[in-house]
Amino acid sequence: MIVINVLTPEPSDQPVNPLDAIGNEMRDPHHHNRPYVLTNMVNSMDGAIAVDGVSGALGGDADFAVFMALRSVADVIVVGAGTARAEQYKAPSASAEAKEQRQARGQAPRPALAVITASARLDPNLPMFGDPDNRPHIITGADADPHAMKHLESVADVHRLPTASVDPTQALSLLHGLGHRVALLEGGPTLNGAFIEADLIDEWNLSLSSMLVGGSSGRAAKGDVGRSHRFTVSRVWMAEDGMLFVQWKRAKRTT
């Protein structure tokens, strides 16, 4: 049994159920042409996002519970091709309890998956292509490899955008047109950086591990151009293993 206590906004020593708490939060997809975008990233105390190239070693049972709870509110999970390969992504799943909550909110039984790749060079045998009932969206650019796209068409829904690199605003507009109102961005750092640069993040969720890692692991977001966007802390939880879960939100915007 996991134990997660609330530190803010109202401190409590009563354990919280992440699935209920996150599922009952209001996320107004108030944008006219794109989904509400929340993130889910994990960092060590010294800012590392991975150990030996993968993020799983930084988490634990509580982190996994929060991870699945955040996934449970998304219509679509958005991830870069590099992260999907490194983390061996599978088609998203949902527990019976999560499916019941999703049905009550008018959502599909489980989230869709959207993979961002400029080249479309993805192995059709990757685990994420293994469920014909939940085919991923592959969002690629004008310079994508036509042969790679052809190979993916039997296992995925392939969408080609008009720009060479995949513009995050256009990608979100596409997903919005497909009926997705809440998108969960799971990285990697380059994709996160592109979304930050375009000011497309509505909610930033960070799991802060009580581990020091060192090494050369990168940060949660990187890009060519830095941008400053102010967020407000809206929630802090702490697990019995010392892990912190922090949520920041942007003020409501009308565009």
Q: For residue 80, what are the β-bridge partners?
A: 116
Q: Is the pLDDT of residue 253 over 60?
A: no
Residue 187 φ/ψ region, left for φ over 0, alpha for ψ in the -120 to 50 degree band, beta for the rest: left
**pLDDT confidence bin for 115, thresholds 50/70/90:** very high
- Domain residues for 98? 55-215
Distance CA 206, CA 10 (A): 19
- Report yes or no on whether pTM surpasses 0.85: yes
Q: Which of 100, 81, 51, 71 shows the shortest CA–CA distance to 188?
A: 81
Q: Is 47 inside any structural domain?
A: no
Is residue 147 assigned to a domain?
yes
Whether the pLDDT of residue 44 is over 70: the answer is yes
Domain-located, residue 152: yes
Rounded Cα distance, 39 and 119, in Å: 24
Output the pLDDT for position 53.
Answer: 66
CA angle 42/48/50 to nearest 5° reads 70
pLDDT of residue 141: 95
Q: What are phi and psi of 243, to 5 degrees?
A: -75, 140
Percentage helix, strand, coil, to 5, in the chain?
25, 20, 50
Q: What angle do CA 107, 108, 110 make, to 5 degrees?
A: 115
Backbone φ, ψ for residue 52 (5° rounding): 55, 35
Does residue 196 sit within a domain?
Answer: yes
Domain-embedded: residue 32: no
In the prediction, which pLDDT does 9 show?
87
Q: Which residue's entry shows tokens 């449970």? A: 72
CATH number, position 71: 3.40.430.10
Report pLDDT for 2: 80
Q: How many domains does the chain have?
A: 1
Closest of 119, 121, 157 to residue 141, by C-alpha: 119
